[in-house]
Amino acid sequence: METGSAENFARMGTLGIEEEFFVVDESGRPTSGTDELVYENDPPALLEDRLDHELFKCVIETQTPVIESLSEAEDVLCEVRETLVSYAADHGYRIAAAGLHPGAKWRELEHAEKPRYRSQLDRIQYPQHRNTTAGIHVHVGVDDADKAVWIANEIRWFLPILLALSANSPYWNDFDTGLASARAKIFETLPNTGMPTAFSDYSEFAAFERLMVKQGSINDRGELWYDVRPHSDHGTVEVRAPDGQADPESVLAFVEYTHALVMDLAEQYDGGAEGYGHRRELLDENKWRAMRYGHDASFIDRDRSGSVSLDEVVIRECRRLGIEGVRGIYDDESGSERQRRVRDESGVEALYDSLVL
């Protein structure tokens, strides 16, 4: 059965970063390039076994090697990105990043032929046929399975914060959705997505994984696509909230914040903290605010005492955790705001070009 094991949770604080990108042509429009880049040629050594594609032939994914410490993340991430861009250029392609590509018209794009994705298309139908999304997944190693489940439960309140900061997908199918992150809404129309419920411990989570596979709801544990999940194969807590980003500094800010959150929550767990145990409905409300308003969002506070603006949360979190990157993200123009401004000022071609790495 395609599920993981509690024994895989053995190391604390390691990192892994997965990024989904768009393969685009010279005009910046998405094009079917993953067959050539993933299957028909041998990728550079750094990307060997770390380069894959997603549902559409225009979406490609990179995975970093295991990163031993936060201090190494920048060098590894930038090397992976530079290698991908160079490899794609050798074959006549460019690489772009956003939560959704504004020029990705799902009815006109080719689906991948991989049996895994053909099975998903057959099972899920319409929602999966239009799933042109691209995000960032940050893995942080946790040294105990029950601790990983507790951290995944508690980190849920912070996921809308990450989404609001990263919101970079106002356009879908060449249409302004009015959302800051349309990717989040498009993606959560799939089954087994969005904000998960809390699990009491690892045995309960593992039983859920096994049940979903046994009942044919998913083919393997990897098809539980929640915004956060204990990754029972890698032994990590995997945060899947942020939109894709062209700027590596933005990605590194989200990596820094996610790593700090996991390490802080691990310390709380080790100290016997009870946690908040939020209902999913409250967290769904905060996520909606993030996807709708981005940097202008406010949230039901963690202690449920009232509302707190994104600005207040960022200031509080940077002081609490000793981090800096997300402060710069908030102070800068958001991805969704930038996309709209570029399109209004310079047109759609300039918008496409602004998303290219």
Q: How far apart are CA 10 and CA 210, in angstroms?
A: 21
Average pLDDT score over residue span 8-13 = 97
> Residue 296 sits in a domain of what CATH number?
3.30.590.20
Quote the pTM value: 0.96
Nearest alpha-carbon partner for 196 in 279, 300, 104: 279
For residue 124, what pLDDT is reported? 87
Phi-psi bin for 13: left (phi > 0), alpha (psi -120 to 50), beta? left
Nearest alpha-carbon partner for 59 in 221, 179, 187, 247: 187
Nearest alpha-carbon partner for 71 in 324, 321, 256, 267: 256
For residue 117, what pLDDT is reported? 86
Considering the domain boundaries, does residue 271 fall inside one?
A: yes
Domain of 79 in residue numbering reads as 6-354
Q: How far apart are CA 202 and CA 179, in angstroms?
A: 35
Tell whether the model's pLDDT for residue 87 goes beyond 80: yes
Considering the domain boundaries, does residue 186 fall inside one?
A: yes
Q: How far apart are CA 145 and CA 148, in angstroms?
A: 5
Q: How far apart are CA 101 and CA 222, in angstroms?
A: 24
Considering the domain boundaries, does residue 33 fall inside one?
A: yes
For residue 109, what pLDDT is reported? 86
Considering the domain boundaries, does residue 73 fall inside one?
A: yes
Nearest alpha-carbon partner for 158 in 138, 172, 182, 186: 138
Tell whether the model's pLDDT for residue 277 goes beyond 80: yes
Q: How far apart are CA 109 and CA 141, in angstroms?
A: 36
Average pLDDT score over residue span 274-300 = 97
Q: How far apart are CA 84 and CA 60, in angstroms?
A: 10
Residues 73 and 15: beta-carbon distance below 8 Å: yes
What's the number of domains the chain is made of? 1
Tell whether the model's pLDDT for residue 1 goes beyond 60: no
Considering the domain boundaries, does residue 18 fall inside one?
A: yes
Mean pLDDT of the residues in the chain:
96
Nearest alpha-carbon partner for 119 in 218, 222, 221, 3: 218
pLDDT grade, residue 210 (50/70/90)? very high
Label residue 150 exposed, middle or buried (CB < 10 Å: 0-12, 13-18, 19+).
buried
Average pLDDT score over residue span 281-287 = 98
pLDDT grade, residue 100 (50/70/90)? very high
Nearest alpha-carbon partner for 138 in 254, 263, 265, 49: 254
Tell whether the model's pLDDT for residue 121 goes beyond 90: no
Give the pLDDT confidence of 138-157 residue by residue, as tens digits. Answer: 999 999 999 999 999 999 99
Residues 2 and 213: beta-carbon distance below 8 Å: yes
Considering the domain boundaries, does residue 1 fall inside one?
A: no
